Amino acid sequence: MLLKENIPVTYVFGKIKKELIMVAIYASAIYLVHQYYDLREVSIPLTVPTILGTIISLLLAFRSNQAYGRWWEARILWGGIVNDCRTITRQVLTFVDSSIDGDEKWALKERIVKRQIAWCYSLSRHLRKQDAKQNLEAFLSDDDVRNIRNVDHVPLALNELQGHDLRTLYKLGWVNEYQQVTMDGTLTSFMNSMGGCERIKNTVFPATYSVYIHWLVLFFVLLLPFSLMESFGILQVPLVIAISSAFFLIEKMAIHLQDPFENMPTDTPTTAISRKIEQDLKQMLKDEMPQVTDMVTNNQQQKQAAFYIL
């Protein structure tokens, strides 16, 4: 899911609760040491943390942009999946003429569309390292369930089954070779989107970059009380906490955004997108079903009329 608005303050600061507690203890300890041991000569000019804070801000901004780029690319890939799901459904429903042998054709078209819905849910769970076979029985035939029972990469297996059914449509003459090539291109687009998501998932953000920035932030926090003590006294404690929280929050935000498939509130909402795809594709099936039923009924009436004439 995505948190849009009315985000609780407890949720925001809960992410850096441990860090803020440690900063509060450290800043208070520095104040007490200055008061009871009269270490006024231990003072750091404010320009030192100012320069360091500026450098850290630039590094955090760069890292946040890179993390958001990964998140946004994941969202673009899933936006492409939405479009391709609607496209493959439209192609199946419109390319295959149901005026003849409507029941058989309708069964195959329905199987392909529902399998595509299952593919979206399985890919979402696969990217999050969850059970990709969970709750797919509602969309798959018994044969499909048996075919994916012992496979590790469920979305890949489902896409392969889509290819087999596409070949069946072509062999039966229900689509021509140009339509077959077009639909195969849509299936290839699914593979490209899945590969892009897996690339983001499996490409780890450089750990050294994260560690260096984190240590710089800690060093900045360690210097800050010594620079603020002379001017603000006891007030340096809340000031240090407030300034530190800003740096910690930005750092934590970048950490969450850099991995958009970790089943966190900041993830790309793949489950919600899959649910929307399910609604759209089922609506397209529902809109098509009366037309198929009417065609079958008309064919039956024509056959009966021909029988009576004979």
Mean pLDDT comparison of 52-61, 161-170, 232-241, highest-scoring range: 161-170
What number is the average pLDDT over the span 117-145? 94
Q: Which long-range contacts (CB under 8 A, 24 or more apart) does 138-147 make?
A: 139/114, 139/115, 140/114, 140/115, 141/111, 144/111, 144/115, 144/118
Q: How confident is the model at residue 280 (pLDDT cuts 50, 70, 90)?
A: very high
Q: Are 104 and 195 in contact (CB under 8 A)?
A: no
What number is the average pLDDT over the span 274-296? 77
Q: Are 132 and 279 in contact (CB under 8 A)?
A: no
Select the more confidently predicted residue: 78 or 291. Answer: 78
Return the C-alpha torsion angle 11, 13, 16, 21, nearest 10: -130
Cα of first residue to Cα of last residue in the chain, in angstroms, is 64
What number is the average pLDDT over the span 168-177? 92
Residue type, 225: P
pLDDT at 309: 37
DSSP assigned state of 205: P
* Vertex 113: Cα angle to 111 and 116 (nearest 5): 105
- Report the alpha-carbon distance of residue 180 to residue 69 in Å, rounded: 35
Length of the chain: 310
Q: Where are the alpha helices (DSSP H) in 96-137?
A: 102-127
- From the list 106, 132, 137, the residue with the least C-alpha distance to 120 is 132
Question: Mind listing the pLDDT tens digit for each residue in 17-36?
Answer: 888 899 999 989 888 888 77
Q: How confident is the model at residue 305 (pLDDT cuts 50, 70, 90)?
A: very low
pLDDT at 137 over 50: yes
Structure-block tokens of residue 71: 């998140």
Please, what's the largest Cα pairwise distance for the chain? 117
pLDDT at 88: 96
Residue type, 220: F
Structure-block tokens of residue 244: 């530190």
- From the list 268, 254, 275, the residue with the least C-alpha distance to 2 is 268
**CA 135 to each of CA 113, 198, 223, 290: distance values in angstroms, whole numbers, following the listed order:** 16, 22, 54, 28
pLDDT at 2 over 60: no
- Report the alpha-carbon distance of residue 281 to residue 85 in Å, rounded: 8
Question: Mind listing the pLDDT tens digit for each residue in 66-100?
Answer: 899 999 999 999 999 999 999 999 999 999 887 77
